[in-house]
Amino acid sequence: MKCLVNGQITTDTIATCQGYVLLEPVDVIAVQSFDQELYLEVSGYLLLSFVIGHGAGRVVRWMGKA
């Protein structure tokens, strides 16, 4: 990664960069590579918890009307 400060490109690290961080193609590839199986598992659990929570909320609402 490179750093852009006052119109000059430097090779500072992210922690010491006082301007804008410029990504190189290698950095973009590293960011884009994520674990698809983990993504599918987490999104599945989120969907399941939404459906269960929604159902539980409907039951509680139904019990409150009785």
| Alpha-carbon distances of 46 from 13, 29, 38, 52, rounded to whole Å | 36, 27, 12, 10
Question: What is residue 66's predicted lDDT score, i.e. its pLDDT?
Answer: 67
pTM score, two decimals? 0.50
Each residue's pLDDT tens digit, 4-49: 888 888 888 888 888 898 888 887 887 777 788 999 999 999 999 9
Q: Choose among 28, 25, 9, 26: nearest CA to 17.
A: 9
pLDDT at 52: 98
Q: Which two tokens stand for residue 2?
A: 């490179």
Looking at residue 15, its pLDDT comes to 86
